[in-house]
């Protein structure tokens, strides 16, 4: 609903157009792009029909507005009149109508909870839902629940702190063995100190205003096997602290990860390098007082304000090159995040991103995504199917498989592009295939020049059945697929036809 990633924009001539038979993708009419919506919402037109008034909406009132020409939707307690947005919704009017006259929060969260609807639908805000006078016994409204340890969730973590003359150490006891440096994200900004620990699909947050000043840099350590995290802060002045600080919003709360709002920190653009004619390697530096490592196979959101509206889009961090990580150990506390980003001249976000100057700041979210590194455990044959920038999640997976997966026998990448000029890191891929016998790469072009004598066409049963040869009949296989949504959907169907099971396939989506 509301604003799906661009792979759902099916311009007939667009590089991202949908194939027939794919997921419900609805071609938007002329003049109904996201940019057109931003223009309309800034035009001063009364989009709520309430002439700027905000009202309290009862459930009965909300239910009445359930038609295409009069459609209200509630998201997280706020009600929006989305009637004028209907034609601009990239997922189509019918998808939006599924929430008409009702609370669409769950539906919204399922499809694209990361979308900053508050900014997108600012001018459609009708008001808040009226709070019900009586709360059923034993239940609290969602917003008031801070410690939500559910039966399915992990046992509740806890924290403690201690100090020396110069240091303050915050200790988080996660009670989970498989905690690592990817599991903890720490940000110290202005007066807020925030440490979010990801435990399976849950988020445990420590959020305090520290009682005294600390220095910019701090260290994060993991005591493996006991699930203990230590954050060591350096005091600015050597004095005894009476308390750690005062609690801020959602301090000491355990929530399902999906219910924890996005958190952004300002990262600085350090460099921008041409990789192909339209794809660039961006390097962003995290603030000194942030600890964040993006786990393999996960993405982050970048945020830009475009003509007054905040827009976020997902991007998948890579390494600075395919090969460098094979020479040097990964730094435990990496301060730089690299992205391979294709610039679409007619796109909304990437031209703006491309206009950023070195030294400019971009807000970067915490990581998201459902790839689990455990999927690589004991894998013998790894097949990677990538189209265009769908190559980006494969970079870290390839690296991790070749370095950290002892069981691995073969990694094969089938990389689909239009032309030779579009192939990202072609020479690095060829070099790696030459140097490491376990790795093979196959390029497939949909619009090759007459000189091309490699594979051509689109993803197809013939290409896949030839490519997907197991090293032994019963080898443990993982297939990863990523590219334009219709490519991925078609690929998954073909893989099922070739008898690969659901557990053997991982597809990357937002």
Which residues form the interface with ligand NAP (CB under 6 A)?
Answer: 5-7, 15-16, 19, 299, 316, 342, 387-390, 392-393, 416-418, 422, 446-447, 458-459, 482-484, 486-487, 490, 508-510
CA 181 to CA 253: how far, in whole Å?
20
> In the range 159-198, which residues lie near ligand FAD by CB under 6 A?
none
Q: Which does 19 bind (CB under 5 to 8 A by kind): ligand NAP, ligand FAD, none?
A: ligand NAP
Q: Which residue has the tokens 């004991």?
A: 378
Q: 406, 296 in Cβ contact below 8 A?
A: no
Residue 80: name its binding partner from ligand NAP, ligand FAD, none (Cβ under 5 to 8 Å by kind). none
Nearest-angstrom CA–CA distance, 235 and 431: 48
> Applying CB under 6 A, does 347 fall inside the site for ligand FAD?
yes
Interface residue with ligand FAD among 1, 2, 3, 9 (CB under 6 A) is: 9
> What is the separation of C-alpha 411 from the centre of its chain, rounded to a whole number of angstroms?
25
Comparing CB distances to ligand NAP, the nearer of 99 and 492 is: 492
In this complex, which beta carbon is closest to ligand NAP, that of residue 212 or of residue 426?
426
Bridging pattern class, strands 125-129 and 55-57? parallel
- Decide: is 15 part of the binding site for ligand FAD (CB under 6 A): yes
Which of residues 114 and 263 has its CB atom nearest to ligand FAD in the complex? Answer: 114
313 in contact with ligand FAD (CB under 6 A): yes
Report the residue count for the chain.
510
Residue 507 in the binding site for ligand FAD (CB under 6 A):
no
Q: In whole angstroms, how close is the CB of 297 to ligand NAP at the nearest point? A: 8
- Judged by CB under 6 A, which of 3, 48, 316, 405 binds ligand FAD? 316
Residue 26 is a binding residue for ligand FAD (CB under 6 A): no
Which of 253, 392, 490, 507 forms a contact with ligand FAD (CB under 6 A)?
392
Spatial neighbors of 167 by CB under 8 A, at least 6 apart, are 232, 233, 234, 235
Count of positions on this chain that bind ligand FAD (CB under 6 A): 27
Residues 6+ apart with CB under 8 A from 18: 8, 10, 25, 485, 486
Nearer to ligand FAD, 338 or 443 (CB): 338
CB 187 within 8 A of CB 194: yes
Using the rule CB under 6 A, give the single segment among 40-48, 249-257, 270-278, 337-345 that binds ligand FAD: 337-345
- Least distance from C-beta 153 to ligand NAP, angstroms? 26
d(CA 334, CA 293): 7
Q: Which of 19, 33, 176, 289 binds ligand FAD (CB under 6 A)?
A: 33
332-to-173, 217, 329 alpha-carbon distances in Å:
21, 15, 9
Under DSSP, the state recorded for 406 is T
CB-count exposure of residue 240 (10 Å: 0-12, 13-18, 19+): exposed
Among ligand FAD, ligand NAP, none, partner that 490 touches (CB below 5 to 8 angstroms by kind): ligand NAP
Please check whether residue 367 is in contact with residue 300, taking contact to mean a CB–CB distance below 8 angstroms: yes
342 binds ligand FAD (CB under 6 A): yes
Q: Rule CB under 6 A: is residue 488 a binding residue for ligand FAD?
A: no
H or E element, residue 479: strand 477-482
- Using the contact rule CB under 6 A, the part of the chain among 2-10, 195-203, 445-453, 496-504 near ligand FAD is 2-10
Contacts of 416 (CB under 8 A, 6+ apart): 385, 386, 387, 388, 444, 445, 446, 458, 459, 483, 487
Considering only 348, 397, 478, 495, the residue that binds ligand FAD (CB under 6 A) is 348
Q: Which helix (H) or strand (E) holds 398?
A: helix 392-404
Longest CA–CA span in the chain (Å) reads 75
Positions that interact with ligand FAD (CB under 6 A) = 5-6, 9, 11, 14-16, 28, 33, 299, 313-316, 339-342, 344, 346-350, 389, 392, 510
């Amino acid at each position: 609903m509301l604003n799906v990633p661009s792979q759902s924009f099916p311009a007939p001539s667009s590089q991202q157009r949908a194939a027939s038979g794919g997921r419900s993708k609805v071609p938007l009419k002329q003049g109904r792009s996201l940019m057109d919506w931003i223009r309309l919402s800034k035009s001063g037109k009364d989009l709520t029909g309430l002439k700027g008034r905000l009202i309290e909406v009862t459930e009965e009132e909300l239910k009445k507005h359930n038609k295409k020409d009069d459609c209200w939707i509630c998201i997280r307690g706020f009600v929006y009149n989305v009637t004028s947005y209907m034609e601009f919704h990239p997922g189509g009017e019918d998808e939006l109508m599924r929430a008409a006259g009702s609370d669409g929060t769950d539906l919204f969260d399922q499809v694209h909870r990361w979308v900053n609807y508050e900014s997108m639908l600012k001018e459609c805000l009708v008001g808040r839902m009226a709070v019900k006078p009586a709360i059923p016994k034993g239940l609290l409204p969602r917003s008031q629940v801070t410690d939500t340890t559910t039966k399915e969730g992990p046992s509740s973590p806890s924290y403690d702190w201690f100090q020396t003359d110069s240091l303050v150490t915050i200790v988080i006891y996660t009670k989970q063995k498989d905690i690592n440096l990817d599991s903890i994200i720490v940000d110290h900004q202005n007066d807020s100190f925030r440490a979010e620990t990801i435990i399976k699909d849950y988020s445990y947050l420590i959020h305090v205003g520290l009682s005294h000043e600390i220095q910019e840099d701090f260290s994060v350590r993991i005591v493996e096997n006991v699930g203990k995290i230590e954050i060591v802060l350096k005091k600015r002045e050597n004095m005894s602290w009476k308390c750690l600080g005062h609690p801020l919003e959602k301090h000491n709360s355990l929530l399902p990860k999906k219910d924890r709002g996005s958190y952004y920190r300002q990262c600085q653009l350090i460099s921008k390098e041409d990789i192909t004619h339209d794809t660039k390697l961006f390097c962003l530096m995290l603030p000194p007082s942030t600890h964040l490592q993006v786990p393999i196979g996960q993405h982050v959101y970048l945020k830009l304000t475009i003509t007054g509206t905040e827009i976020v889009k997902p991007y998948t961090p890579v390494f600075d090159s395919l090969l460098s990580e094979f020479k040097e150990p990964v730094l435990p506390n990496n301060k730089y995040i690299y992205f391979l980003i294709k610039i679409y001249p007619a796109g909304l976000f990437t031209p703006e991103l491309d206009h950023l100057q070195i030294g400019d700041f971009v807000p970067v979210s915490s990581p998201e995504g459902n790839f689990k590194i455990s999927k690589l455990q004991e894998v013998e044959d790894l097949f990677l199917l990538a189209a265009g920038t769908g190559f980006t999640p494969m970079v870290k997976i390839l690296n991790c498989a070749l370095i950290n997966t002892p069981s691995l026998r073969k990694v094969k990448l089938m990389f689909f592009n239009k032309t030779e000029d579009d192939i990202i890191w072609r020479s690095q891929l060829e070099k790696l295939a030459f140097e490491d016998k376990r790795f093979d790469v196959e390029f497939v072009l949909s619009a090759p020049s007459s000189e091309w004598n490699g594979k051509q066409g689109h993803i197809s049963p013939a290409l896949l059945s030839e490519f997907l040869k197991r090293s032994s009949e019963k080898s443990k296989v993982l297939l990863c697929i990523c590219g334009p949504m219709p490519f991925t959907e078609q690929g998954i169907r073909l893989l099922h036809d070739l008898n690969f099971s659901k557990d053997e396939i991982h597809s990357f989506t937002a």
